[in-house]
Amino acid sequence: MLRLFTALAVPFDIAETLQRRQTGLPGARWRPTDHLHITLGFYGEMDERRADDLASELERVRGEPLTLSLNGVGSFGEGHRARTLWAGVGLTPALEVLHGRCKAAGERAEIAMERRIYRPHVTLAYLKPHTDPDRIGAWMAGHNMLKSPDFQIDRFGLYSSVTTPDGGVYTLEREYPL
């Protein structure tokens, strides 16, 4: 079984900037720079036949190169329930269209897609249970003014993921130009 998602790789210079912020919070399992990405669609686990169907549908996805920027930080979950720290990504019309097209490709491949609202972000860390909420809040307050320069993206990828105790390990399976 394969666990698949589509994503935009974060350019090296932006990832380096984020890496400098990945410190100072006990209980955070910081993501390595080569794993920093902006998810477009999460497809879950599937067999190889379904994965091939998805890859074929993604070949049909068209989009334009993207100009994106990072804005602020936050967490999924609040207080002692916080589980993830992220850097926000400005939602542009072109990014929203690309997300919709990746989602539609999954649906055409007969994959049940998540129904939640799309909130583009870069996951910076997974938090261990019971990480001190005051320390989480202090880290976010210290980094809430994050603002990157605009950066260009001209391709997206289909990635496989293997879950480990330290978070997912990702492998680029295919790349698609925009």
How far apart CA 33 and CA 113 sit, in angstroms, is: 27
CA separation for the pair 129, 102 (Å, rounded): 32
Pick from 1, 116, 107: which is nearest to 54 by CA?
A: 107
Q: How many domains does the chain have?
A: 1
Phi/psi region, residue 168 (left: phi>0; alpha: psi -120 to 50; beta: rest), is: beta
What per-residue confidence (pLDDT) applies to 80?
Answer: 72
Q: What is the pLDDT of residue 44?
A: 96
pLDDT at 48: 96
pLDDT at 79: 76
What pLDDT is recorded for position 95?
98
Q: Distance between CA 29 and CA 162 in Å, rounded?
A: 16
Helix extents (H) in the chain: 12-21, 48-59, 93-108, 133-143
State residue 61's pLDDT score.
98
Average pLDDT by stretches of 10, the chain with 178 residues: 96 96 96 96 96 98 96 90 95 97 97 93 94 96 96 98 83 97
Domain that holds residue 26: 2-177
Which CATH number covers residue 164?
Answer: 3.90.1140.10
Beta carbons of 88 and 73 less than 8 angstroms apart: yes
Beta strands in 25-101 (DSSP E): 28-30, 37-46, 66-68, 70-76, 84-89
Say which residue the tokens 């100009």 belong to: 67
